[in-house]
A and B are shown apart, each in its own frame.
Chain A
Amino acid sequence: MSMHIQPILAALRRHKAGTVLIALQIALTLAIVCNAMFIIQQRLAHLSEPTGVDEANLLVIPNQWAGHMSPEQADAQVRTDLVALRQLPSVSDASPSDAYPLSGGGWDNFIMRKPEQLTPTTDASIYLGDEHMLDTLGVKLIAGRNFNAAEVVYMAPRQVVIPSVVIVTKALADHLYPDGSALGKPIYAMSTTPTVIVGIVERLQRQGVSQWNKAYAYESLLWPARQDATGVYYIVHAKPGQLADAMREVPRALYAQNRLRIIDPDDGGSYVQIRKRIYDSDRGMAILLAIISAVLLAITAAGIVGLTSFWVGQRRKQIGVRRALGATRGDILSYFLTENLLIGIGGVAVGVVLAIAINLWMVTQFEMARLSLIYVGIGVIALLALGQGAVLAPAIRASKVSPVEATRSV
């Protein structure tokens, strides 16, 4: 092999422009594809994060009151609605809430460990619910206890009510009390009134999953309360396998209770719908980048085929001479493969630098994560293999050039 490299380099020097163009194309392709693959992986990882709730059997009904209803009337209607919902044959449990995981946004509070603390320790998504909330969501209680009915308070609009007890996620408990002593401790949620941790659940995703939420991922708390400003979310847990029935029965049952309500079709629904809504742009981005990467690789491969074919065509006479002087078909084949490998190595070397530079720039511009070198490695191997694959057909054609060509002019 090593013997062949000198003449190949000499030949490449005569095709400077073509060599540089192929190497440049490989470099750019590597830089783009590495970053694209990395973004795709990040997006896919993002959209496959679990919520911690029993998604397969959950239904969220965004319920808004129409016309004029006093907060007290609305709360009475909420309680009546819940009784009706829990009696439905397809429903196993239901709870009122102010939000649901992956709703996109909602109420979150800064959390402090001490009442007089000026800078918050962290931030938590807030879910209100009654004593049925844990069972309805299907989240796993790993320490402490559930709320009891007597602890559930009513929060009238604009009343700053801090429930005496709170259930927090493990992520929030660990952030507040890294030594694992959270249970039984008070926390302060933008108030000097304490709320005591009585339970810890394994996992409950926040309402929002956008960039700023990432620092507080899975940090959520549950308060035993009903709140009704202009509407409420009913979280409904269907009996296993009966989600479709519940999706039909629940709105019908609610309208039968009171027609003066609005259920927004663009909010809530099943978790298939909720996930689709919130991760739309992540999935779309992954699809777009996958398409662009695939076409890009195809075009780069085609470009290599095109240029190498031209070189083979141009050097038929020289190939013939080499064949006449005793070079085997294998020698010719390996000549073109090695030539491509050399150009490819030059290209990927530049490409790696470019890929990392682009990523570093994107880190500053789009708060993106640092490119993992695994993707650069995969990209390098993929592009070298692509180059070898692309050059194979023209190289085989070159190896079939007959020694007789040496005697022909042009």
Chain B
Amino acid sequence: MRGMTGYYFRLALRSLRRNPLLTALMVLAIGFGVAASMTTYAVFRAVSGNPLPDKSAQLFVPQIDNWGPASRKSGGDIPDSLSYTDAMALMRAHQAKRQTAIYPVSYTVVPGAGSQPFTVNGYATYTDFFPMFDVPFRYGNGWASEHDTQRANVIVISSQLNQSLFGGTNSVGHTLNLDGHDYLVVGVTADWNPQPRFYDVNNNRSFADAPDFYLPFTRAVDMQSATTGNNNCFGSTGRAPGWDSWLHSECDWVSLWLELPNAAAVTHYKSYLEGYVAEQTRGGRFRWTGGAQLFDLVGWLDHEQVVPPETRVSMMVALGFLLVCLVNTVGLLLAKFMRRAGEIGVRRALGASRRQIYVQFLIEAWAIGVAGGLLGLLLTGVGVFGIGLVFEPAIARLAQVNLTLVGLTLLVSMAATVVAALYPTWRAAHVQPAWQLKSN
């Protein structure tokens, strides 16, 4: 059989050389179709991936409808962040294994004389943030939970900020001045920037650069550091001037994440959350009932439509394109195979089985698939390189040619071509030898 395969392969090459134009056309069609699909898929995979596959099933986001049905008369959903009041109530209740309130903040660093000041972006969180999200550390650790309650001046910085401020050395125990206030460095994270940034997708930062620092939420609130993310308010009530009035308003700007390790914990939290909302209704704060939701991480990314519509549409157009290329290839292969009806008739009459005809023509198709795959690989490389022209840079740079993509490109083109060859091969195998010989 091995010898036969080699023979069929030589036959295939000879046949392909006989109609170089037709062969080139098929290879081009497969190559372009596969390249378009793979390029757009590389982007899609980068933006739609699970940022924390080992942990995502245990991470949850609660939503509370603190504006009521009146806010949705002209469409829309319940707010995608929490008011400070609700976030703090849920933090205090401590009904999950771990929990952290989060909001984005930004400060400025004024280095020594001669260098320009610069902005640093980070998050105000609780210490549970680090174990919940499996944040890796290069030096030190997250702060102690007492630091949260003591509203302490501690900070965890990224390895990048550590590099630019402390030359990459262990800076734990050093102080860092942000906007004129000193913070004690307690930890330096290793490179950590899950994509999409699931814990801050409601602020258009899903695909941003790694944050520079994390500091206690309680401290940031004491510093009156405003959120650099969205601050959504509804209605005209509760907007008295001043920081404290803002904290206690119904404006929504805090994200809350929970770690619920098993189904029992999820059920427990759901009933707690419903109880909390019912209590707000009883107390007169909400003039409506219900309106609590709990999303898991993957469900949350889906709810927030993290994958840009451009990415989805492009991938679908590209898949449609591949489909047309395949239909095209079926037609051309059919023409190519049926033109050799006479040859098939002779081979069948001389004792070749249908199976052997199948093998011969599928090998020929496979050879086209390999050539198309190689061309597709080349074009995918060009495509991924040029993707920056099409998608916003933050997303484009996520798409990379790696071994998986190379393997997938070759696999898809070979599989696609063999699938395209099934019908033409079936037709070829069912050529009636007697009829062919007679007509000659």
Chain A residues near B (Cβ < 8 Å): 17-18, 21-22, 24-25, 28-29, 31-32, 35-36, 39, 64-68, 104-105, 110, 112, 115, 118-120, 157-161, 188, 190-192, 215, 229-230, 259-262, 264, 280-281, 284-285, 287-289, 292, 295-296, 299-300, 302-303, 306-307, 309-311, 313-314, 362, 365-366, 409-410
Contact = CB atoms under 8 A, between A and B. Distances in A.
Interface in B314-351: 314, 317-318, 320-321, 323-325, 327-328, 330-332, 334-336, 338-339, 342
B402 interface: no
A190 B249 CA distance: 13
Contacts of B320: 28, 31-32
A219 B405 CA distance: 46
24 contacts: A17-B423, A22-B331, A25-B328, A25-B331, A29-B324, A66-B108, A66-B118, A67-B108, A104-B204, A110-B234, A119-B70, A158-B241, A190-B235, A262-B119, A281-B308, A281-B392, A299-B32, A300-B328, A302-B328, A306-B331, A306-B332, A311-B335, A314-B339, A362-B313
Contacts of B17: none
B310 interface: yes
Q: Which 9 interchain pairs have the tightest Cβ spacing?
A: A68-B180, A66-B117, A310-B335, A284-B390, A21-B331, A303-B328, A66-B108, A288-B390, A159-B241
A190 B233 contact: yes
Given A32-B321, A307-B331, A260 B392 contact: no
Contacts, number: 168
Interface of B: 22, 25, 28-29, 32-33, 36, 70, 73-74, 106, 108-110, 116-119, 179-181, 204, 224, 226, 233-236, 239-243, 245-246, 308-310, 312-314, 317-318, 320-321, 323-325, 327-328, 330-332, 334-336, 338-339, 342, 389-393, 423, 427, 440
A281 B246 CA distance: 35
Contacts of A215: 74
Contact of A190 (B236, B330, B392, B440): B236
A260 B117 contact: yes
A283 B427 CA distance: 46
Contacts of A230: 106, 226
Given A18-B331, A158-B241, A362-B313, A300 B324 contact: yes
Contacts of B236: 112, 115, 188, 190-192
A393 B117 CA distance: 68
Contacts of B389: 284, 287
A409 B423 CA distance: 29
Nearest to B246: A158
B334 A280 contact: no
Contacts of B33: 299
Contacts of B224: 158
B36 A292 contact: yes
Interface of A is mostly: helix
Nearest to B388: A284
Interface of B is mostly: helix
A158 B28 CA distance: 62
Contact of A410 (B70, B106, B116, B440): B440
Nearest to A366: B309
A169 B240 CA distance: 28
A264 B239 contact: no
Given A264-B119, A362-B313, A105 B321 contact: no
Contact of B334 (A17, A287, A302): A17
B334 A21 contact: yes
A77 B307 CA distance: 42
Q: Which residue, of A215, A259, A288, A313, has the highest number of chain B Cβ atoms within 10 A?
A: A288
Nearest to B309: A366
A349 to B, nearest CB: 17
Given A22-B331, A262-B108, A285-B390, 13 more contacts: A21-B330, A24-B327, A25-B331, A35-B317, A65-B108, A66-B108, A104-B204, A105-B204, A260-B110, A284-B310, A303-B332, A306-B331, A410-B342
Given A32-B317, A292-B317, A280 B327 contact: no
Contact of A307 (B226, B332, B423, B440): B332
B29 A299 contact: yes
Given A32-B320, A67-B108, A409-B440, A190 B239 contact: yes
A302 B106 CA distance: 57
Q: Which residue, of B235, B240, B335, has the highest number of chain A Cβ atoms within 10 A?
A: B335
Nearest to A117: B236
Contacts of A118: 70, 235
A260 B115 CA distance: 11
A366 B313 contact: yes
A307 B333 CA distance: 9
Nearest to A112: B236
A160 B245 CA distance: 10
A68 B107 CA distance: 10
Given A119-B74, A160-B241, A299 B324 contact: yes
A65 B332 CA distance: 66
A158 B399 CA distance: 41
B204 A66 contact: no
B425 to A, nearest CB: 13
A81 B129 CA distance: 41
Contacts of B339: 310, 313-314
Contact of B321 (A110, A292, A313): A292
B25 A302 contact: yes
Q: Which residue, of B29, B108, B180, B324, has the highest number of chain A Cβ atoms within 10 A?
A: B324
Contacts of B240: 160
A119 to B, nearest CB: 5
B335 A307 contact: yes
A149 B414 CA distance: 73
B108 A64 contact: yes
